[in-house]
Chain A
Amino acid sequence: MSSRERRRKIQTEDNLLSANPNTLDPKTADAIGFGLGDLALEIAAADNDFQAIEAVSIQEIHPNSIQPRYSIPHDLTDIFALHPGNIVDIFERWIIEVQLETGQKDFDILPYLQGQATSRGARAESDAPDQSAADQPLFGKETALMKIVDLAASIRRDGLSNPISLVRHADHYEIETGERRWLAYHILYWKFGDGDRRSDGSVVNWSRIPARVVNQVDVWRQASENNARDNLNAISRARQLSLLLMDLHGWDNFVKIDACENEQAFYAQVADGAAWRIPRGQGERLLNAMGLSDAGQLRQYRALLRLPADLWRRGDDENLTEGELRKMKAALDNVTRVTIQKSKSKKDAVARLAADATQWRNKLRKEINSLDNNNKPKIRRLIEAEIRQLMRLIADIDESHT
């Protein structure tokens, strides 16, 4: 092609200085037809396989009521329903409980979230494990809280590598997997808000969490996700087994969780191994989903569904193993010992309540003194929760006297 011909071709294109250069718009470009043929079909297939990841507001997300893992101690969910509006209250209260439980008055989660050196970290680095472990017993509520705080710190440092999965309902989303990641986002939003600048210079909005939206909760997918991540405690595994068994037998055969006396009663519906056998041909699938190797273990986890209510809660809050729970159940059969233990634990509870109430009174007094209109509903909620907790303990004390 001669230089003159080239110039002619150039003249046919619009000047890019004009306001709307005549670029090929998508429709025209597609219509010019360059017969993508098979490739178009392959691209369409790839698109179909892709579950889009959306950034969903953490306030629109509600936990799944039959999720096997309970990330928050039962004491706290007794006071505050696990509702997005309550999460900050739950963590505030939780931190105070850890302060009371461990005697560290200045315990705060902020240094952990900021990745600063902490006394806990220093203990880990000091390489004197035996002694320090003896000096610093691990407390249940602290361990449970720090699991979520550590997760939040790692998300803040490295980002969220695995989006949570949600089911869309009319006015909210329900968590299929990722309750603890969602709680971690609540902590990060509470402490850092939106526009948080990370050490690598990137800016993150903690009010929205990356999520895949799925059509419905799939307990099998949930189980495989749970096994792939942090190991579940024995009670959570028992719950997971129960959910899988209910799925195999059909959900219509069981009462919904809201209609049950408590959460354990819901899962205990399949406690009877003779009535709810593992369907033929499903044993292998069940073992795989539970991450177990033999059927005996399934029986042991199923037996946990019949634990006395207080042992069930304790096992869950303190992450007791299946073996420990079995032994404790055997010990509980000795009635005299049980009574003694019970009265002792009541005494402890009353002593703890007294210390607890003082600290709460101080905190509330401080907040009420600095009260502005924005804080009013929150203070009211905190006081109401406190009254409910006190009423519950009074009822307990009355009961133990009779």
Chain B
Amino acid sequence: MKIITLLNEKGGVGKTTLATHLSAGLAIRGKRVILVDADPQGHATIAFGLSKEPGFYDLIVRNAPFQKVLRPVPAERFNVPDEAHNTNGQLLVVPSNIETRSIAGNISDAFTVLKRFNQLRNAIDFVFFDTSPTPSLLHSSIYMATDGIIYPTKCEAWSFDGLRESLTHKDQFSPIRQQYNLNDIKVLGVVPTMYRGRTLEHQDNLRRLQDTFGSLVWKPLPVRTIWTEVASARRTVFSLAPGSGTAEDAWHLVDQLEDRIYEQP
């Protein structure tokens, strides 16, 4: 089981969209995937039209069994229509609601999340955490559980600030993880989102990203209306517009993730 976290301490940069599509993409390719909505907004939950209760808080604080909180996403909501029944993969969501913000004050140690998800290490291939932009003790607990991080960012100043803050916090956890014999968290990628290639501002900022992070920067994801349609339809772009260029872009993201997960350090 690999645990992957989507992080940027700036809101509205595309964490949720990326989380839903990367998890759905791997599920379509036959993997057993859990998407944990760790943002009190619960948007990864409604992205698939699921109910927000019971959720992450119940799992971590009330010790609800996984059977109670894991919500399977109906195949027609995430899978490619004509291939809907051809996959052995599963996509399950741990929903989130306003209670999620109280988790931090109710957990006794930083290993709570790791311990809970470790129970499923033989049953599940991937766990994705879609996090909230505001750092909290819950983030610490997620840092202790995470194998790899993906940083979505807009090519804009404030997103860069959020990105820098996030990277600083990640580094602060390195010594703590070492102390407990956990490997360093792998940075799987920095993903430029909502990219407007015609503007000089975005072009310049993309170059800055590439200068700083080199090959860690994935192919930029252009801004498209279809991403908002996908949200309205409570589906993935694979399900709503399978033949579109945007679906192709999304598959490219999944490819890049798979390349980097399995690549040897």
Contacts and interface: CB of A to CB of B under 8 A. Distances in A.
Contacts of A16: 46
Interface string A13-57: 100100001011110011010101001101110110110111000
A92 interface: no
Which 6 residue pairs of A and B lie closest in terms of their CB atoms, listed nearest first?
A52-B63, A42-B123, A47-B65, A159-B109, A46-B119, A10-B232
Looking at A9, A34, A42, which has the most chain B CB atoms within 10 Å of its CB?
A34
A43 to B, nearest CB: 5
A200 interface: yes
A29 B119 contact: no
A159 B109 CA distance: 6
Contact of A24 (B50, B123, B232): B50
Contacts of A282: none
Nearest to B244: A1
Nearest to A200: B137
Interface stretch (B15-23, B68-76, B185-193): B68-76
14 contacts: A1-B241, A1-B244, A7-B229, A23-B49, A23-B51, A24-B71, A29-B74, A34-B90, A42-B123, A47-B67, A50-B119, A159-B109, A201-B137, A203-B105
A202 interface: yes
B140 to A, nearest CB: 8
A160 interface: yes
Interface residues of A, number: 39
A327 interface: no
Contacts of B243: 1
A39 to B, nearest CB: 6
B63 A13 contact: no
B242 interface: yes
Nearest to A44: B67
B233 A6 contact: yes
A206 to B, nearest CB: 11
Nearest to A53: B63
Nearest to B106: A55
Q: Is the interface of B mostly helix, strand, loop or mixed?
A: loop
Contacts of B63: 50, 52-54
Contacts of B154: none
Contact of A10 (B72, B119, B233): B233
A34 B74 contact: yes
A43 B46 contact: no
Contacts of B50: 23-24, 29
A63 interface: no
Contacts of A52: 63
A163 B108 CA distance: 9
B52 interface: yes
B157 interface: no
Given A1-B242, A1-B243, 10 more contacts: A13-B232, A26-B71, A36-B72, A42-B122, A42-B123, A43-B67, A50-B63, A54-B63, A161-B111, A203-B105
Interface residues of B, number: 42
Contacts of A163: 108
B54 interface: yes
Contacts of B226: 6
Interface in B1-53: 32, 46, 48-53
B113 interface: no
B120 interface: yes
A54 to B, nearest CB: 7
B234 interface: yes
Contact of B109 (A30, A43, A161, A201): A161
A54 B64 CA distance: 11
A15 to B, nearest CB: 9
A315 interface: no
Nearest to A209: B108
B233 A43 contact: no
A68 interface: no
Interface string A234-259: 00000000000000000000000000
A402 B226 CA distance: 100
B104 interface: yes
Nearest to A12: B233
Contacts of A44: 67
B110 interface: yes
Interface string A162-183: 0100000000000000000000
B54 A39 contact: no
Given A29-B71, A32-B74, A159-B109, A9 B233 contact: yes
Nearest to A8: B233
A47 B58 CA distance: 14
Nearest to B104: A202
B240 A1 contact: yes
